[in-house]
Amino acid sequence: MATCDSDGDGGSEDTSMRPDIIDGFERKSVALLDYVNNLEAQLEQLKASFEHKEARLKADKKALEDEFAQREAKLKAEKRSLEEKLHHSLEQVSRTQKALVHEERKRLATDEVIRNLKLDVRAAQDLLHNECQRAKELEEQISDLKEQLRNREQTYNRRRLKDEREKTKLEEDMTVLRKKVTLGWILGCLTEVYLRLENENEAQKGVKAMGNLFKNAGKPAKLESIEREVRRLINSQDGNHSSNKKHLLPSPRQARPEDSISGSEMDLDLESAAAARDGDACKPCRFIRSVIDTEHDHHHHHHGTRSASPTSSGV
């Protein structure tokens, strides 16, 4: 509107300037139109190029999508395969781990058994060593005990032989003592008998002979001769059978020491027979004979026991 006012105000001047302006506008319009056409042409070119590029991009995109789908499918398949392999591998690893754990437990158990066996072997070796030592000690003790037993046996044998000798000596002493007692009693009885004799010389002679016998009664070597002398005195006192008894009784010179026992037994048998024939002629003589018989039986039994008992040390 300002332009119209300015145009109204300067009408004459505007009229002279309009062709130039129109030409200028026309030229500008033509140039602008050319420019617009050029822009449109460029736009069409760009649009065509863009459409071409877009189509190519779509094709590339589709190709890429197809390739991606293929690769994705392939990768999924590979993934599944790998997952399966991984699963199998994990299962195998798990089984392997379990087997390893089992083997480790077995190894530990085996090691424990081996350790225990080593301890048992060591203990057995120690026990065997101790038993060997104990066996050696026992063998030494057995050897010592055998030696002690041997020494004790020797001591026992020596003591037994000593006891046997002492017992034999004691028995011999008891025999001598018993004979002395018996002879003492017999001599006492005979003294009483001789004192009753009417012949005083004969009585004194008999008492003196009996005194000599009693004096020598302690000597073992003369006991048999003492017994024979007592028998002779008894036989000489028995006047009724003096002739029979002289040839029955042996004299001291004829009797040997080793035949004293058998001879005494024979005398006793004969005297017993004679005494049985006498009846009650001489009771003291008959009683003395019985005492001598008892003493001979004891003497014979004692000699038989000594001959049967062992006297050597080889028991």
* DSSP string of the chain, one letter each residue: -HHHHHHHHTHHHHHHHHHHHHHHHHHHHHHHHHHHHHHHHHHHHHHHHHHHHHHHHHHHHHHHHHHHHHHHHHHHHHHHHHHHHHHHHHHHHHHHHHHHHHHHHHHHHHHHHHHHHHHHHHHHHHHHHHHHHHHHHHHHHHHHHHHHHHHHHHHHHHHHHHHHHHHHHHHHHHHHHHHHHHHHHHHHHHHHHHHT-S-HHHHHHHHHHHHHHHHTTT-GGGHHHHHHHHHHHHHHH-GGGHHHHHHHSPPTTT--GGGHHHHHHHHHHHHHHHHHHH-SS-HHHHHHHHHHHHHHHHHHHHHHHHHHS--SS--
Is the confidence at residue 86, as pLDDT, over 90? no
State residue 302's pLDDT score. Answer: 53
C-alpha to C-alpha distance for 284 and 187, rounded to whole angstroms: 11
C-alpha to C-alpha distance for 227 and 233, rounded to whole angstroms: 10
Which long-range contacts (C-beta less than 8 Å, at least 24 apart) are formed by 120-123? Answer: none
pLDDT, average across residues 255-279: 42
Contact (Cβ atoms closer than 8 angstroms) between residue 295 and residue 178 = yes
Please tell me which of 49-53, 82-86, 108-112, 289-293 the model is most confident about, judged by mean pLDDT: 108-112
Does the reported pTM lie above 0.85?
Answer: no
- Sign of the torsion angle spanned by Cα atoms 134, 140, 143, 149: negative
Considering only residues 73 and 19, tell me which one the structure prediction assigns the higher pLDDT.
Answer: 73
In the numeric block, which tokens belong to residue 244?
């029979």
Is the confidence at residue 5, as pLDDT, over 90? no
Q: What is the Rg, in whole angstroms, of the alpha carbon atoms belonging to the chain?
A: 83
- For residue range 174-196, list pLDDT tens digits in order: 888 887 787 777 777 766 666 66
C-alpha to C-alpha distance for 90 and 110, rounded to whole angstroms: 29
Please tell me which of 141-155, 175-189, 202-216, 264-278 the model is most confident about, judged by mean pLDDT: 141-155
Q: What is the mean pLDDT of the chain?
A: 71
CB neighbours (10 Å) of residue 192? 10
- For residue range 141-157, list pLDDT tens digits in order: 999 999 999 999 999 99
pLDDT, average across residues 165-178: 89
Percent of the chain with pLDDT over 90: 17
State residue 263's pLDDT score. Answer: 41
C-alpha to C-alpha distance for 103 and 200, rounded to whole angstroms: 134
C-alpha to C-alpha distance for 29 and 42, rounded to whole angstroms: 19
